[in-house]
Amino acid sequence: MDPELQFLRPDWPAPPSVRAVVSTRAGGVSRGHWAGLNLADHVGDDPDAVAENRRRLRAALALPAEPFWLTQVHGTVVAVAGGAERPPADAGITREPGRVCATLTADCLPVLFASRSGDRVGIAHAGWRGLADGVVEATVRSLGGDPTELLAWLGPAIGPQSFEVGPDVRDAFLAVAASAAAHCRPTAPDRWLVDLYGIARQRLAACGVTAVFGGGLCTYRDGARFYSFRRDATTGRMASLIWLLPPSAAGG
């Protein structure tokens, strides 16, 4: 593995067939605003640098295939990995070993899913719009089965001390569930600090997913490890990836 690249791995009791990882900005060849391992090709970075960063990612993780990149639009559409290339969607799922579901983030919340039986995985890009509109619930429905049999892990996102918003964002969450007010702390007239992690846990519990792990990181405050759109505006993106191993590789 490339010693310069650094990854986060979910702290959850996923079965052996599940592999999941989140990149950091460490390593890579991007420069300037995108310095490090920028994996997004839509943010103004040198396309050759992005291609090399993606090559290094694949090599470092020995990925079984090119990640199933999405055209993220802050919506609720869920795509099945292996379908149309770069579909306009904000979540991906698969039951097929070797398909790598992926999202790109730089403050938005990546939510990774795995079944306890290890037969399906998924990932959602939950920016505030998608989270409010139901991308988490849509992903749970698309994965199928009993939601209580799913594990969820909340990856790095802007934290509750840094995500200050106006009434439009707060009202979008409260329109769905008044209980979201518990995760919106007033700081000034018409300004609130919103806890995306807390709201995501609330929404997951409401649709039956109670085994939720992760959370607690802040992309905005940890500039050494993470890109942050709110902090820097012009910046790179981290990738969150999840896939299934073939039964032989998983020891099954």
Q: What angle do CA 141, 143, 148 make, to 5 degrees?
A: 80
Pick the CATH number of 7-158+210-244 from 3.60.140.10, 1.10.3720.10, 3.30.460.80, 2.40.50.100: 3.60.140.10
From the CA atom positions of the chain, what is the Rg in Å?
17
State mean pLDDT over 238-245.
98
Res 50 pLDDT > 90: yes
Give the pLDDT of residue 250. Answer: 65
Q: What is the mean pLDDT of the chain?
A: 96
Q: Please report which confidence band the pLDDT of residue 251 belongs to, taking 50, 70 and 90 as the band edges.
A: low
Res 252 pLDDT > 60: no
Name the residue ranges covered by the structural domains of the chain: 7-158+210-244
Q: Please report which confidence band the pLDDT of residue 246 belongs to, taking 50, 70 and 90 as the band edges.
A: confident
How many angstroms separate the Cα of 174 from the Cα of each of 73, 86, 168, 183? 22, 32, 10, 10
Q: What is the pLDDT of residues 6-31, one digit of tens each?
A: 999 999 999 999 999 999 999 999 99
Q: Which residues contact 205 (CB under 8 A, 6 or more apart)?
A: 212
How many angstroms separate the Cα of 45 from the Cα of each of 9, 40, 206, 214, 234? 26, 8, 39, 30, 9
Q: Please report which confidence band the pLDDT of residue 99 belongs to, taking 50, 70 and 90 as the band edges.
A: very high
Instruction: For helices 135-143 and 196-206, give the axis angle rounded to 10 degrees.
Output: 40
Q: What is the pLDDT of residues 179-199, one digit of tens each?
A: 999 999 999 999 999 999 999
Model pTM above 0.85: yes
Kindly state the percentage of the chain with pLDDT values over 70. 97
Indicate the SS3 state at residue 157: strand
Give dist(CA 85, CA 214) in Å, integer: 30
Sign for the pseudo-dihedral over CA of 244, 247, 251, 252: positive
Q: Please report which confidence band the pLDDT of residue 164 belongs to, taking 50, 70 and 90 as the band edges.
A: very high
As a residue count, the chain comes to: 252
Give dist(CA 97, CA 235) in Å, integer: 32
Res 1 pLDDT > 60: no
Give dist(CA 125, CA 101) in Å, integer: 11
